[in-house]
Amino acid sequence: MTLLSTLAKFFNVSGARRTPAKAGCAAADGGSAGLAASDGEFSSAVTALGAKLASAEGPSRPGEFDRFTEIFRPQPAAEADVRRLYKLARQTTLGFEGYARKLARRYGHCPIVLERVLDGLFQLALADGVVSERETEYLQRVADALGVTPAVYRAVRARRLGLSDEDPYRVLDVDPAAPDDVVRAAWKKLLIETHPDRALARGLPRELVELAQVKAQAINAAFDRVMHERRGGFAAGAA
């Protein structure tokens, strides 16, 4: 997916100052939302975030910038400038949250854009096949600075890395992008299957009844966490 080269599809461009078009945000769906190639400040911020992510990973590696341009594809005429900025920004991770907050101020009304930025950074972190602990912390802090909700962060992370064992969506056995009614149905189904009263009715030993109680508590906690996060703001796929 190209992120920098297709933004004009979703934004109106006029004059020296580019203003995101709300209609473009409404039109964007999960398929191919692009990002603002024509917005110099946007391109600079994304380049800096990509470079500082690489800095968090460690020393520069062969082909690193090429991977960045494959994911965040700049305009051909601007690639030399992007390379210079990338090299400069890569010297340290300092200041990366400022770039993310700038994007949040500029595109906060269009959360799909911010989600696509985060998704591109996850792709970049995964380019070598492993996402390190330092990269994970970096991505989480970028998400916080972008104003991305926990539900959206989890959906993006799961899309690229899968779900951890303790993730509430894994506990409920549903996709993070599933709508609320699907999540609720999964929660009810699991509660019926694991309810302690059912274990008692089957005459199971006390230890298994207690295990059923623990499982039921975990299922309820997972459902509560998902719903709390979704009420907190934009959630990809939420109904």
- 176-186: per-residue pLDDT in tens? 888 999 999 99
Residues 6+ apart with CB under 8 A from 94: none
Q: What does DSSP assign to residue 72?
A: S
pLDDT (tens digit per residue) in 164-178: 777 888 889 888 888
Instruction: Find the range with the poorest average confidence among 21-35, 138-152, 207-221.
Output: 21-35
Q: For the whole model, what pTM was predicted?
A: 0.66
More reliable by pLDDT, 77 or 54: 54
Give the sign of the dihedral formed by CA 210, CA 212, CA 214, CA 216: negative
Mean pLDDT value across residues 26-39: 41
Residue 11's nearest CA partner among 24, 1, 27 is: 24
Q: From residue 91, give the alpha-carbon distance in Å to each of 51, 55, 133, 224.
A: 8, 7, 20, 42
Mean pLDDT value of segment 43-59: 92
Confidence of residue 2 (pLDDT cuts 50, 70, 90): very low
Percentage of the chain modeled with pLDDT above 90: 36
Q: Is there a contact between 199 and 212 (Cβ–Cβ < 8 Å)?
A: yes
38: confidence class by pLDDT, cuts 50, 70, 90: low
Token pair of 215, please?
A: 């499982």
| Exposed / middle / buried, residue 144 (Cβ in 10 Å: 0-12, 13-18, 19+) | middle
Domains of the chain: 7-148 (no CATH), 168-231 (1.10.287)
Between 105 and 61, the more confident residue is: 105
CB 219 within 8 A of CB 169: no
Query: Three-class SS of residue 12?
Result: strand
Is residue 146 within 8 Å of residue 104, measured between CB atoms?
A: yes
Phi, psi dihedral angles at 12 (to 5 degrees): -80, 135
Mention every residue, 6+ apart, whose C-beta is less than 8 A from residue 153. 118, 140, 143
Write the CA distances from 190 to 140, 149, 173, integer angstroms.
30, 26, 9
Q: What is the DSSP letter of 232?
A: T
pLDDT at res. 230: 83
